Amino acid sequence: MSVRPFPALLALACAAAAASPDEALLGRDAGYPVAPRLARIHEPGFIVGSFSAMDTLGPHCLLAPSDHPLPLRVASSPPTFRYRFDGRTLTLDDYLQHQRATAVLVLKDGAIVAERYGYGRRPDMRMLSNSMAKTLVALAVGLALEDGAIHSLDDPAEHYVPELNGSLYGQTTLVNLLRMASGARYVEDYGDHDDRAAFNAAARREGVLAAARGVTERADPQGERFNYAGAQTEVLGLVLRAATKRSLCDFVDERLWKPLGAESAASYLLNPLDHVEQAQGGFNATLRDYARLGWMLANDGRAGDVQVVPRDWLLAMTDAARQPPQFRPGAMDSHGSRYFGYGYQVWLMPGGHRRFVLLGVYGQALYVDPAAGLVMVHLAVGADARGDAGGSHLAQERDALWRGVVAQYGSW
């Protein structure tokens, strides 16, 4: 595959689908405005603008980019990606015309082979991660282990955060928090009154620490069963702040964001009351910097000549064979599906070799295939938290698109 030098990136970045779906509904005629306040960001007329300007709506901290950004090459002859879905053979551009993707980028061996923007989004915009941010927390835990600030994953959270002494989450080990296996009775189905909504409201009202102490009932012994709950990531964020004696923003910036070669500043949204980072989903970055993060993950923790994250930690996070059997693809139950497994704050994919994906509500995803040297970043404004309202089947078609990207260079 031949490549063009970095300046050619601008031309590729400007490529966009002829028309994105529901443009008028989503605010095209008003210029895709940002919501007047956080409570309205998911309204159709504000979601596009808000998801690429979240750090204008409330307190946040900035992560500085690298002094030496990792260059991204551009393929001179990009392939036409094809995939099968709903009985049809489709292309990436077909996909963009009927799914609410704000941006899609594919890397192959460090070169950009596709980059598209919808709804007037631009390469310089910081896009909301939603729960893709959880994987950053796991990476930070690995770095804190390397530094000796965290001693063991078998330590309970209260070992580092004494204010959690005697609480359910305080008595949960770090490894079980990483695997979403605290055993807490906690429903996260993105309804207006689920436990996630209650936890976030408590954090805004009393602080993240108080919200964590407010989860008090176990449904299962810890370590036995997967139960996705962003509150567990928030507790890991508190552990990191206490163990490193630094804000998550500062620690992730110095130990991860700059070393991986980020080109642009990123941001964390902060809980308004206590200014604690929203660890479970408040990270924002440009499309290309998400791709750089993915490329570091695809290279088992390396960015250029720098080993940013220990390779063995990446394998512990992302290798299904290293997880207990009940957390592997095909065995783990997640809302009635056994498609994915789960490692340390990251989803594990089925197939013949190691593949994994960072997922966030409303359609955010970062797919990684280390053996094939493939990364796909997918940012979106799905019709609901799961992206599938109205029968759009965003998650299923996005998965089909990823399989088509993989098929371009090999087999599943």
Quick one: the chain helix, strand, coil %, rounded to 5? 35, 20, 45
Distance between CA atoms of residues 251 and 243, nearest Å: 11
At which residue do the structure tokens 């923790």 appear?
301
Beta strands (DSSP E) in 249-405 are: 266-269, 283-285, 302-303, 306-307, 341-342, 347-348, 356-360, 364-369, 374-380
Please say whether the dihedral angle defined by the alpha carbons of residues 119, 264, 281 and 278, taken in this order, is positive or negative.
negative
Q: Strand pairing of 82-85 and 73-75?
A: unpaired
Distance between CA atoms of residues 67 and 62, nearest Å: 15
Please say whether the dihedral angle defined by the alpha carbons of residues 118, 123, 124 and 127, taken in this order, is positive or negative.
positive
- Per-residue model confidence as pLDDT tens for the chain (412 residues): 434 434 444 444 444 446 999 999 999 999 999 999 999 999 999 999 999 999 999 999 999 999 999 999 999 899 999 999 999 999 999 999 999 999 999 999 999 999 999 999 999 999 999 999 999 999 999 999 999 999 999 999 999 999 999 999 999 999 999 999 999 999 999 988 999 999 999 999 999 999 999 999 999 999 999 999 999 999 999 999 999 999 999 999 999 999 999 999 999 999 999 999 999 999 999 999 999 999 999 999 999 999 999 999 999 999 999 999 999 999 999 999 999 999 999 999 999 899 999 999 999 999 999 999 999 999 999 999 987 666 779 999 999 999 999 999 998 8
Question: Amino acid identity of 204?
Answer: R
Domain boundaries, the chain: 3-132+247-272+281-409, 150-241
- Which CATH topology does 150-241 take? Methane Monooxygenase Hydroxylase; Chain G, domain 1 (1.20.58)
Q: How far is CA 73 from CA 10, 125, 293, 308, in A?
A: 11, 20, 15, 21
Distance between CA atoms of residues 372 and 316, nearest Å: 19
DSSP state of 125: P
Beta strands (DSSP E) in 109-194 are: 111-117, 127-128
Please report how the helices 230-244 and 195-206 are oriented relative to each other, as an axis angle in degrees rounded to 10.
40
- The alpha-helical segments, DSSP class H, found in 278-364 are 287-298, 311-318
DSSP state of 226: -
SS3 182: coil
CATH number of 3-132+247-272+281-409: 3.40.710.10
At which residue do the structure tokens 């990270």 appear?
283
Structure tokens at 345: 């704050």
Residue partners of 162: CB distance under 8 A and separation at least 6: none
